[in-house]
Homo-oligomer: A and B are copies of this chain.
Amino acid sequence: MLSTLREVLGYNVRANRVARKMSQEQLGFAAHLDRTFVSQVERARVNISVDNIEKLAKALEVDPSRLFCRPTELERQET
């Protein structure tokens, strides 16, 4: 289960990135962020700021609020 907001965000960033068939490198480039930072966000290892969340949402072309929606267990099993 995703317990922290970081984990929910990380899960959603990864799910949206994979759905767009983007690599972490490509997402990092599009969001003007480092690839390793994208990796840390997806693994909930970094306390990301709202400005960087905005950059990722724009690069993923997704509404920022969607990155904070808890995925249902079904969605999690499918990815």
- Interface residues of A, Cβ cutoff 8 Å to B: 4-6, 8-9, 47-51, 53-54, 57, 63-69
Contact = CB atoms under 8 A, between A and B. Distances in A.
**Oligomer copy total:** 2
A65 B68 CA distance: 5
Contacts of A63: 68
A2 to B, nearest CB: 12
**8 shortest A-B CB distances, which residue pairs?**
A65-B68, A5-B54, A47-B49, A65-B65, A64-B68, A65-B69, A47-B51, A48-B50
Nearest to A9: B50
B47 A50 contact: yes
Contact of A6 (B8, B9, B50): B50
